[in-house]
Structure 1
Amino acid sequence: MEANRFGDIAAFVAAVKAGSFTAAADSLGLTRSAVGKSIVRLESRMGARLLNRTTRKLSLTDEGQVAYERWRQILEDLDEVEATMALRRGRPTGTFKLTAPLSFGQRHILPILDAYLKQWPDLRADVWFTDRFVDLVEEGVDIAIRIGAPKEDSQLLTRTVGWQQYATCASPAYLARSGVPKTPDELVGHDTIAFGSGERTVAWRYQTPAGLHLHELPGRLNIDSSEAMREAALTGIGLIHLPTYITGNDLRDGTLVEVLRPYRAPPDPIRVVYPNKRHLSPRVRSFIDLMVSHWEAGVPWEK
């Protein structure tokens, strides 16, 4: 490729955008004659007229329209590469705003935030650990951690960083006293600890040979806190059905024992969600990179 080809392409794209050789020359710091010569060279190289020239305006020929769209994209891609590299060299500054579900955020995002703030001492963070849905664009939030399949939204980008797997479990003392359920249908005869209050509880989902099975009866104990449900199960009150990011350590050390494992429902994605901007800020990019590096060998609750 000739050394001046990109210069000629830049002159052509600038002339089309500006509508005249003179305006394009001013934007590029060239003379009007230099812009004109660049376009003549391009037309000679392409073997086709790219511009219709009149005393009042420029207009694209059919061939010029095709060339303009492709070359404009190429120049924008080059700008994107340069901007991305510049941002990667930049230091995260300002206020980093993040939201995550309550239990998941406290258990698994807070340690990453601790490492993040130690890595970038000039940064401060505003964090919302809440199960309330937060509108990132409306509320000016940099990143949200969300669980479940994404919804179509052109204003947001999403990246899966882990999986939420529900498991049914109880303390060894409860299982010794009440027995081990062998199928989801046998849960009816057991004491369960459900998420919710009164008659409104969250159903327990299972995958059976016959399809999806929902256990929807109210628990013997209904609590509106996942952490309190775990504590209740540890004391031997009954069975719980919670994500392993809450019960993973208990299952590993044997203080809780999983039942009905063959009937586990498929896991849900855990996603990083952030506004769709042309260039990611150093705050967003560096936090995502740090999270991925922490979990690239496997998420901590499943180790």
Structure 2
Amino acid sequence: MTAEDALRVLDGSYGDGPQALDIVVTRHDVLDEASFRSTGVHELYEQLFPAIERDSPDDIVRWLLSDDVGEPRHFSVGGRQMSYRLDSRCFILRAAGRAIGLGFFTYDHASDLIFCNHVGIAKAWRGGGLARAFYREMVAMLDALFPRNIGVVLEVEPYDRDRLDAIIADLELTGRPLAADEQAAIRRLLRARWYDKLGYAMFCNALTMQPLLCRSPCLDPCLPSSEWAEGEENYWLMWQARTGAPSAQRRASEFWQNAVAAIYIEILAKSLVDDDPNGRRDYWDYATALVAQTMQQTMMTDVRLVRCLGDEDSALLSRWRRLAIDLPI
């Protein structure tokens, strides 16, 4: 993929009227920190995601422009040699040169998986199919950048159907405003719906047809080790195979094991420990043990890839739509 190929133009009626929007990519069109920051993408990132979900701006710049640039990196932990090779890219959707959308992806060369870190569109630009068009353009560009990739994997927060049913039932009766924690609960379902509409499938237990639970290690190794457990989060993993990828016929259980290892060992643990290999040996032991526990618990599970939303979810979404509440995801 050449620098000329990287910039894509989306034509259509988006926002207040017909206008051309373009997509630029780090290390093709956006080559340095000053250019990256000048797009306003950091400000958009802060608008789209709560503080608890955001990485520091300096870390993002470092990953995109100096650390995760497709070159092998080496370090040692307790005398054991480690290596990993990542390539992170930020796709920036612009209107008049300013960011109105972003997508942050990391390609893991060890597994040929692409991890979707963040995707978002400014609230004023949602609607009219722009988010979906932007996402599909990014996937096409990722395929050009990484022709060996076999697909995209991402995390979604689990949602509790019983709780959502109770929240929606109360809203149907009272019409009261949504509390902040209720908004967060509803957003989990809405986010899963968005990826479901894009064609993603959920890793599920074939016997129960329930999503497999994956526990993420704490993302802050600088915290006292006694606090790491408090920083752990549960996720479901969703997967979209690359069309025509030769390995797309592999068993879902193999994809599951590879996805867990890619996200939480290759992308997360190794990059965090590489920052301070001598000082973070305990964190390495903690993170790898937690990931091994997830993989061991599901080792004998018959894993299936199924569409995320079932009949119960569709019914909840229908009731939610009838409430006509504007809740950006």
TM-score interval, smaller chain: under 0.3
User: If the length of structure 2 is used for normalisation, what is the TM-score?
Assistant: 0.20
| Greater Rg by CA | 1
User: If the length of structure 1 is used for normalisation, what is the TM-score?
Assistant: 0.21
Q: Which has the higher contact order (CA 8 A, sep 6+)?
A: 1
